[in-house]
A and B are shown apart, each in its own frame.
Chain A
Amino acid sequence: MSHDAAATRERIDRLYRSESRRVLATLIRLLGDFDLAEEALQDAFMAAVERWPRDGTPANPRAWLISTGRFKAIDRLRRRSRFDKVLGELAARLDDDGAPDPAEQDDQSLEDDRLRLIFTCCHPALSPDAQVAMTLREVCGLTTEEIARAFLTGPPTVAQRIVRAKAKIRAARIPYAVPPRDELSDRLETVLHVVYLVFTEGYAPASGDSVVRTDLADEAIRLGRLLVELLPEPEALGLLALMLLQDSRRAARASADGAPILLADQDRSRWDRERIAEGAALLERSVSSGQVGPYALQAAIAVAHAGAPTAQATDWHRIAALYDLLARADPSPVIELNRAVAVSMRDGPSSGLALVDAILARGQLDAYHLAHAARADLLRRLGRTADARAAYRRALELTRQEPQRRFIEQRLNELGHGPGDDDASRPGQR
């Protein structure tokens, strides 16, 4: 390969990484079908590899890829139409539907295609699992194998989810569209939820042997940035702020051997100040809209932690007040649990314990290891060692995360293995 050809090839590879998702998003609109558009995308890049070294790189590569992909798809349909009349009709319709030359479309309509793709992948008619798989596959361009690895499941499972989702999009005629203004906030909520699911799976995997699965957290932040760029709604800003602020603690969250380190024990000099500043600025933009949603509130809590130079200097009054707002905006037992912990830091462990016991008494978080770990910690702070040990053991039974197991075991060791009779002397405590 000549030097020029090698340089062109490298340019095409770079272009694939930066442009392939945009080109795909537009091809899906032009061709009306995900699979056809994906084939067309591959065809277009193959044509580029063949022709650009010979004919030179076109002035507008993205537009070239889109029109080439479209022509290749029409060609494909024509060839298949020898066996299927319907495809022939489709090819003819695509050919003369007078679609404007993509090269002449303004950037806005092409950006809209990316939003169409996001909203279609996160359509409420698809299951959350399918939404996540479709978003990572189609919007982020991850392979089926990469998605399977990230979610600790087999590639056939992921492939099947994607095939079924595409079949549903086709059969039920899920439109390739950005929802109208009056439906936007509900639909955006689903999209943000998918992005946050990807982030939390990366940041706090439900199972497995590592505290942070970096790739997914990065992918979610990239998605968050894309959303903020395309649709800077308050909660989109709030979610990106939240992810950046949580991610700022990445380097401090685990010890060298992978054990999790609690917020209070983290080396705060290892927090990423750049991410904190970016997150705080995004949060301000979100709050200045006058609307404060659950993601913005969680980001505000994260900012309060980030602003404390030491764990002792944490403003628990502010954090507990923010949790009060959050519990009202987005009621859930997990948020109540976090609120209970904040209250225990503000008012003392016995107030926190009363709240945690009330949540557990409702049976809502009985199988959630962190609820028992939080309870154990409060009991430990109250000096009720035997009860604390029992609660840690319950948490240990429930966790499937190896680093969490090691962490709880360490706490148990610190409490010692004695018969813990301190409760016997205070029988009325329970």
Chain B
Amino acid sequence: MKYLCLVYADEAKLDVMPQHEVDALIDEVLANNEELEASGQLILAEALEHVAAAMTVRVRNGRLSATDGPFAETNEQLGGFALIEARDLNEAVQIAGRIPSARIGSIEVRPVIDLVRERSPQ
């Protein structure tokens, strides 16, 4: 079963992290990704640019609007994700706990829906 691990962290805290610590963190993340890939548990993992670089897109009445944002007043922002394959929630939590950023921020573990199975039979 697939789970999406959403990595949240305080951007402001990351911004002031000394470069050698940032490098060490990146090395750790890359090494962990490699290990998870080798064991077949990682489907895709990426880090994200600042929320400041984001846009929000909506289509209403057929008209597209693209605005700056989001501007949620939260302490932690979405900073990356890992789509993983796990036997069950316990294994997913184990894997999420190995993501280095879990020590800095927090990881939301979301089960992925199989849309085809979810759809009522035609």
Q: Residues of A with Cβ closer than 8 Å to B?
A: 84-86, 123, 125, 171-175, 177, 179
Contact = CB atoms under 8 A, between A and B. Distances in A.
A123 B109 CA distance: 15
Contacts of B121: 84-85
A174 B89 contact: yes
B88 A175 contact: yes
Interface in B36-94: 87-90
B36 to A, nearest CB: 19
Given A84-B121, A85-B121, A86-B117, A172 B89 contact: yes
B100 interface: no
Contacts of B89: 123, 125, 172-175
Q: Closest 7 A-B residue pairs measured CB to CB?
A: A175-B88, A172-B111, A173-B88, A172-B89, A174-B89, A175-B90, A173-B1
Contacts of B1: 173
Given A125-B89, A171-B111, A172-B89, 16 more contacts: A85-B121, A86-B117, A123-B89, A171-B113, A172-B111, A173-B1, A173-B88, A173-B89, A173-B111, A174-B88, A174-B90, A175-B87, A175-B88, A175-B89, A177-B90, A179-B90
B85 to A, nearest CB: 12
A422 B113 CA distance: 71
Contacts, number: 23
A174 B89 CA distance: 5
Nearest to A85: B121
23 contacts: A84-B121, A85-B121, A86-B117, A123-B89, A125-B89, A171-B111, A171-B113, A172-B89, A172-B111, A173-B1, A173-B88, A173-B89, A173-B111, A174-B88, A174-B89, A174-B90, A175-B87, A175-B88, A175-B89, A175-B90, A177-B88, A177-B90, A179-B90
Nearest to A123: B89
Contacts of B90: 174-175, 177, 179
B45 to A, nearest CB: 20
B41 to A, nearest CB: 15
Contacts of A85: 121
Contacts of A86: 117
B120 to A, nearest CB: 9
Contacts of A179: 90
A94 B90 CA distance: 23
Nearest to A171: B111
Nearest to A180: B90
Contacts of B113: 171
A123 B92 CA distance: 14
A7 to B, nearest CB: 45
Contacts of B111: 171-173
Most chain B CB neighbours (cut-off 10 Å) among A84, A172, A175: A172
Interface string B1-16: 1000000000000000
A123 B88 CA distance: 13
A331 to B, nearest CB: 23
Contacts of A175: 87-90
B98 to A, nearest CB: 14
Interface in B85-122: 87-90, 111, 113, 117, 121
Nearest to A125: B89
